[in-house]
Structure 1
Amino acid sequence: MMFALGVASADDGYRSADGLAVYLGIVPASVVRGHPISHAESTMHGSAGTARHQQHIVVAVFNAQSGARVENAQVSARVGGLGHVGEQSVQLDPMKIANTITYGGFVTLPGNDRYKIVVVITIPGRSRPVSVTFSSDQVQ
């Protein structure tokens, strides 16, 4: 697949584990910054800010068997690049768009690299969190 410069691409964007189907999308934060002030997405997660190389991670979680969307989870992500030292963690906030809940937050992918994104999902009533791992190539 070919992607525009400055865009991150997640591998196939789908993982399943422990009865959950998890989808990951990565969108440049500039797309969110482009919304008018009156648009709900312009202020989500405290707004996109102006940091260079900022990306918006979006995660949708479903019950793999029933297909029902999971809307009561706590979702976080840990992001680290193979060529960069350290890891950043972000709490992914619930976002209600078109009467559905997804989870999102902003991260900085500072350079050309292959990033590992570990999404951790905690659902009330489950004995332990569910963790899935994605890879993403960032091209400047």
Structure 2
Amino acid sequence: MRIVIQRVTQATVSVDSKIIGQISKGLMVLVGIETADTEEDSEWLSKKICNLRIFDDEEGVMNKSLMDVDGNILAISQFTLHAKTKKGNRPSYILAAKPDISVPLYENFVACLEKESGKKVETGEFGAEMQVSLVNDGPVTIVMDTKNKE
């Protein structure tokens, strides 16, 4: 699984001009799933996301986690995170998992985030054309891939 985490003061996701997910302070997480990913990857990432110390403490040092600041999560599926751009100008998405694999893993990932955070996780609509709006706080943006756990 490959994710992009953005620390936000607010974020929304819309489909057909209707907001379907929104959060205030917290993390917006773009999620790309490939065929080789497992539920173990979901569990590992959810723990990392909820405990990453990327929120400012009283001295302005990134020393607090999502849990420490009572933040929220907006998780959005994004197969384009697995784009291969080595050859030509048209990205290849050959590594991105097909829906029969990615939908259950995405749902599992959201469930793991909810269990770890103790809160409902806002989501986009899997496979839909979505418009995402956010205010990146910092800016703080972190990329993680379960292929690089070690």
Structure number with greater CO (CA < 8 Å, separation at least 6) is 2
TM-score by length of 1: 0.31
The structure that is strand-richer by fraction is 1
Q: TM-score, normalised by structure 2?
A: 0.29
Higher helix share: 2
